[in-house]
């Protein structure tokens, strides 16, 4: 059986390699970068064994390193610019094939491979087929790229490190913020938020509750930077007790459309750094708000559409 734990171990080995390569890089800041990726590797390799407290210490250490400002050193490209340009001209649009293998394998695994049984056991870990399939897609893309491009042995790791260092700490924000949302839900923040929303929103009306939920999802996502962090809070505050419990709404429609409403908030906030800040840096745009400014009209229209869609579907 291909388990999610195996995918985590492979990712941990990759981050461990990033730590080793960072330690070998010249210049200031290399030890901070090396320590950062080594801590990430430790979480992936042994996070399920060291316990919640140790994992929390790792998160605090990562935050301290990121906040120190010593993750700015970027390694040079593994291949010279002229060599990379010549390779791009040689392969053309075929360069996109390895990347397209990721969603293709992920969908195939989620729909087909999860049903495969070998020796009485499922091929993919039950309940984790989607994540395992995504990991298989990434591994398939790596193999395809190596076969097609035939790079030097360390080039995939070096280029992976270059991309990871470009994104830097922002690449970990979704996981950290999602965990924060779970902590908020367990600590009763959802109930407190529900009481506050009840003071300003018409929760006694089923459609007012829908509007409070979708708009609240977008606002909390904008504040927290991640819809997965906002979801447990708003669902505990309005979704389950009001839409489902009081008015008998469909929890599946509520959850699915609620998450889409949260993603509207993702489009509007610098807190979603990996979506809205990192692209500005990668593209070297002069306006740091360019991505958010371009996304605001779409975010508003999508939020209105999601609110109407939930109002139409959740009580059917």
The total number of structural domains in the chain stands at 2
Instruction: Specify which of 179-188, 274-283, 292-301 reaches the highest per-range mean pLDDT.
Output: 292-301
**Of 293, 192, 261, which is closest to residue 233 (Cα–Cα)?**
192
Confidence check: pLDDT of 261 > 60 = yes
Reported residue count of the chain is 316
Last residue of a domain, one of 168, 198, 226: 168
Most confident of 26-30, 172-176, 236-240, 263-267: 263-267
Averaged pLDDT for residues 104-122: 87
Residues 294 and 199 in one domain: yes
- The mean pLDDT of 144-156, rounded to a whole number, is 87
Check whether 230 has a pLDDT greater than 90: no
Task: State the residue range of the domain holding 257.
Answer: 188-313
- Tell whether the model's pLDDT for residue 77 goes beyond 70: no
Whole-number pLDDT of residue 258:
93
**Separation of alpha carbons 247 and 239, rounded Å:** 10
Residue 69 forms part of a structural domain:
yes
| Rounded Cα gap, residues 237 and 220, in angstroms | 12
Confidence band, pLDDT 50/70/90 cuts, at residue 75? low
Asked if the model's pLDDT at residue 143 lies above 90, the reply is yes
Q: Which of 68-72, 73-77, 171-175, 223-227 has the lowest mean pLDDT?
A: 73-77
Instruction: Average the pLDDT over 267-293 and give the result.
Output: 82
Distances (CA, A) of 84 to 73, 88, 159, 199: 22, 6, 12, 59
Whether 159 is covered by a domain: the verdict is yes
Per-chain mean pLDDT for the chain: 85
53 and 130 share a domain? yes
14-23, 92-101, 161-170: least confident range: 161-170
Q: Do 157 and 194 sit in the same domain of this protein?
A: no
């Amino acid at each position: 059986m291909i388990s999610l734990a195996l995918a985590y171990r492979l990712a941990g080995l990759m981050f461990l390699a990033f730590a080793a390569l960072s330690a070998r890089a010249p210049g200031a800041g290399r030890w901070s970068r090396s320590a950062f990726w080594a801590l990430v590797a430790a979480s992936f390799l042994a996070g399920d064994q060291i316990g919640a407290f140790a994992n929390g210490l790792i998160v605090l250490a990562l935050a301290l390193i990121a906040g120190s400002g010593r993750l700015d050193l970027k390694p040079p490209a593994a291949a010279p610019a002229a060599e990379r340009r010549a390779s791009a001209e040689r392969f053309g649009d075929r360069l996109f094939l390895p990347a397209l293998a990721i969603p293709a394998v992920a969908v195939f695994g989620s729909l087909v491979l999860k049903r495969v049984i070998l020796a009485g056991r499922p091929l993919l870990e039950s309940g984790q087929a989607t994540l395992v399939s995504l990991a298989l897609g990434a591994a398939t893309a790596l193999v395809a790229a190596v076969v097609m491009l035939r790079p030097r042995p360390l080039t995939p790791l070096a280029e992976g490190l270059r991309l990871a260092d470009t994104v830097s700490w922002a690449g970990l924000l979704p996981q950290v913020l999602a965990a924060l949302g779970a902590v908020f839900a367990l600590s009763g923040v959802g109930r407190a938020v529900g009481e506050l929303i009840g003071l300003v929103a018409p929760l006694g009306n089923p459609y007012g509750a829908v509007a409070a939920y979708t708009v609240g999802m977008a606002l909390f996502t904008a504040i927290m930077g991640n819809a997965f962090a906002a979801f447990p809070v708003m669902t505990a505050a309005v979704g389950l007790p009001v839409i489902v419990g009081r008015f008998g709404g469909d929890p599946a429609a509520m959850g699915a459309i609620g998450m889409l409403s949260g993603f509207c908030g993702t489009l509007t906030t610098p807190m979603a750094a990996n979506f809205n800040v990192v692209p500005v840096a990668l593209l070297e745009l002069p306006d740091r708000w360019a991505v958010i400014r371009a996304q605001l009209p779409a975010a508003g229209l999508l939020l209105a559409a999601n609110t109407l869609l939930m109002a139409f579907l959740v009580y059917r």
